[in-house]
A and B are shown apart, each in its own frame.
Chain A
Amino acid sequence: MITARNMVKKFGHFIANDHLTFQVRKGEIFGFLGANGAGKTTAMRILCGLSAPTSGEISVAGYNVYRQKEKIKRSIGYMSQKFSLYEDLTVRENFRFYGGIYGLPRKRIRERTAYLLEKLNFSHAIDKKIAQIPLGWKQKLAFSIAIIHSPRIVFLDEPTSGVDPITRRQFWEMIYETASREVTVFVTTHYMDEAEYCNRVSIMDQGRIEALDTPARLKEKYQAANMNQVFVQIAR
């Protein structure tokens, strides 16, 4: 679903992404980890079609990141770490707005909104303004809206930052459930227990991918009890 071969991004003399090579499979939950400033955001922006790489062969959902950026944008969902819903609009209006951006017909937007809210058990709040909704719910709504157009890949940038521990787990259940329907999930997090929930993780340091494997194999390789210890060894 994502293929990157020798992906390089330079800003002047600074190499933000230094020959990244990795593949992400259909329906996989892929954890994209790394220290602050390691180059995760830069890579994610390229994969989302928002920034052109300096060099490398990269395709997302079968589209070329140099020539088919618009097609990529239509095939992916994106949820940023900063909360992206409109506070002054209701839940329904936010769904309609984002559905409209993706060019979904009205009827399809209504169907998807009803379906996604029912899955969340949140249908009763459809006419509430976002401003009145607790943070944990907002994050779950933002995720639902990121998949309103049934994307093949969804990118989640620190989706659970600051969220309470119960909601954080509910959020990961949504991720599991989404991936079980063959949607690819590409996620960043600073919670190392969440790294364990991924099928595979990559760990970046200073622009390079230093490790890439299943959490179990990484723990074995680095002789670590948990992913936190793996991360500290690599990013130190």
Chain B
Amino acid sequence: MAAVTVDHISKHYGSTAALRQASFEVDPGELFGLIGPDGAGKTTLFRILTTLLIPDQGQVRVRGYDPVGEYRKLRRLIGYMPGDFSLYGDLTVEENLDFFATIFDTTIEANYHLIRDIYQQIEPFKRRLAKNLSGGMQQKLALSCALIHKPEVLILDEPTTGVDAVSRKEFWDMLLKLKQQGITILVSTPYMDEAGLCDRVALIQQGQLMKMDAPARIIEAFPKKLWIAKADHPYRLLLDLREWSDLAAVYPFGDSMHLTAHSDDLDETRLKQFLRERNHTSVEVARANPTIEDCFMDLMNQ
């Protein structure tokens, strides 16, 4: 049985469609990523799964339970870390954790093994008020609070948004450890580079699931050939590449440009020649493999 089943879910806010006919399944023990920008519908979907919002249409099952009719049973089985600050700022670190343990009729001691790796990093500050913690520490406390009742399904809404690259990496290391303990994890993120850390991902935009698969398979299915171009002046390079009529799309990617062509062929020699004529220096043009972000943008343009 799937850990999570979402079957043709729709949700509107007034005339705005937040989710349109979304369907997917998550297997037990899977780390499933919902990848998309703000406003794509990620939070709406997670709020439906966590019994906090009722869909207009469609069916949902989490661990076999209906989030609408069986919300009481379901709430014991899921851990939820909302995107916004969800702790009590006026309680200490330890009081927050104790509070969440108590409302689920358990104790910190009973499930300490689950949170040990994460909680130990903030335990030296356990008498500090939650509102006085740094962003990274608040995030670790929020994750500890979401885990303290030993949930079977963990739902994390944008845990790494606004978090620096180092803390993001640490957070994903923690998630991979939790996965090893058999917890099913659903996590949403606007950072495309985090997709590669998930078993499977759904790419979501404007309420629609555009694609769902293992990240490597999504990349394999990229329908075009991709090239990169580099030169010393990236902005000028971008503007000049736009004038090359063989190209269908030109996007900056870090220190290079990603190019797709109208046909499957791109005359690299002629393109390099053209760029040199435009006084570009250190010109490079070469074939490259797409990233999830290339795939996402290609799907957005379809």
Report Cα–Cα, A111/B40, bound state, in Å: 35
Indicate with 1 or 0, residue by residue over A104-138, a CB within 8 angstroms of chain B CB atoms.
00000000000000000000000000000011100
The answer to whether A162 and B190 have CB atoms under 8 Å apart is: yes
- Chain A residues with Cβ below 8 Å from B205 are 164
Contact in complex: B254, A235 (CB < 8 Å): no
Q: With CB as the reference atom, state the residue of chain B lying closest to A219.
A: B255
**Complex: chain A residue closest to B162, CB-CB:** A161
Instruction: Give how many A-B residue pairs fall within 8 Å (CB-CB).
Output: 87
Q: Of B26-34, B112-120, B163-171, which stretch is located at the interface?
A: B163-171
Which single member of A35, A180, A197 contacts B252 (CB below 8 Å)? A197
- Is B22 part of the binding interface, using a Cβ–Cβ cutoff of 8 Å? no
Residue B271 is within 8 A (CB to CB) of chain A in the complex: no
**Are B238 and A235 touching (Cβ within 8 A)?**
no
* Contact assessment for B235 and A34 in the assembled complex, using a CB-CB cutoff below 8 Å: no
* Neighbour of B166 across the interface among A196, A227, A235, CB < 8 A: A235
Indicate which residue in B135, B158, B235, B252 contacts A37 across the interface (CB closer than 8 Å). B135
Q: Is B290 an interface residue (CB 8 A)?
A: no
Whether B164 pairs with A235 at a CB distance below 8 angstroms is: yes
Residues on B with C-beta less than 8 A from A172 are 252
Q: Check A36 against B163 for contact (C-beta < 8 Å).
A: yes
Query: Is there a chain A Cβ closer than 8 Å to B300's Cβ?
Result: yes
Nearest-neighbor residue (CB-CB) of B256 within chain A: A196
Contact with A along B33-60 (1 / 0, CB 8 A): 0001111100000000000000000000
Q: Complex Cα distance A235/B38, Å? A: 27
In the complex, which residues of chain A have a beta carbon less than 8 angstroms from the beta carbon of B166?
Answer: 35, 231-232, 235-236
CA distance A158 to B161 in the complex (A): 11
Per-residue contact bits, chain A 83-112, to B (CB 8 Å; 1 contact, 0 not): 000000000000000000000000000000
| Docked-complex contact A164 and B300, CB < 8 angstroms | yes
Interface hub of B163, B190, B191 (most chain A Cβ within 10 A): B190
Partner of B255, one of A164, A191, A216: A216
| A176 to B234 Cα, complex, angstroms | 10
Partner of B164, one of A35, A81, A173, A227: A35
B37/A169 in contact, CB under 8 A: no
Q: How many residues of B contact A (CB 8 A)?
A: 35
The CA of A235 and the CA of B158, in the complex, are separated in Å by 22
Which residue of B is nearest A192, CB measured?
Answer: B165
B121 to chain A: closest CB distance in Å? 14
Looking at B135, B165, B168, the one whose CB has the most chain A CB atoms below 10 A away is B165
Asked if B296 is an interface residue, CB under 8 A from chain A, the answer is yes
CB of B293 within 8 Å of the partner chain:
yes
A36 close to B134 (CB less than 8 A): yes
Q: How far is the CB of A42 from chain B (nearest CB, A)?
A: 13
Which parts of A203-236 form the interface with B (CB within 8 Å)?
215-216, 226-228, 231-232, 235-236
- Note all chain B residues with C-beta closer than 8 A to A216: 255
Chain A residue at smallest Cβ distance from B158: A162
Give chain A residues whose Cβ lies under 8 Å from the Cβ of B252.
169, 172, 197
Q: Which chain B residue has the least Cβ–Cβ distance from A172? A: B252
B161:A161 contact, CB within 8 angstroms? yes
Question: Which listed residue, A35, A164, A215, touches B167 by the CB 8 Å rule?
Answer: A35
Are B254 and A36 in contact (CB-based, < 8 A)? no
- Contact assessment for A166 and B164 in the assembled complex, using a CB-CB cutoff below 8 Å: no
- Write the nearest CB–CB distance from A58 to chain B, whole angstroms: 25
Q: Is A71 an interface residue (CB 8 A)?
A: no
Pairwise interchain contact A227-B254, C-beta atoms closer than 8 A: yes
A sample of 11 cross-chain residue pairs with beta-carbon separation below 8 angstroms, ordered by A number, consists of: A34-B164, A36-B135, A36-B162, A36-B167, A37-B134, A164-B37, A164-B205, A166-B297, A166-B300, A190-B163, A227-B254
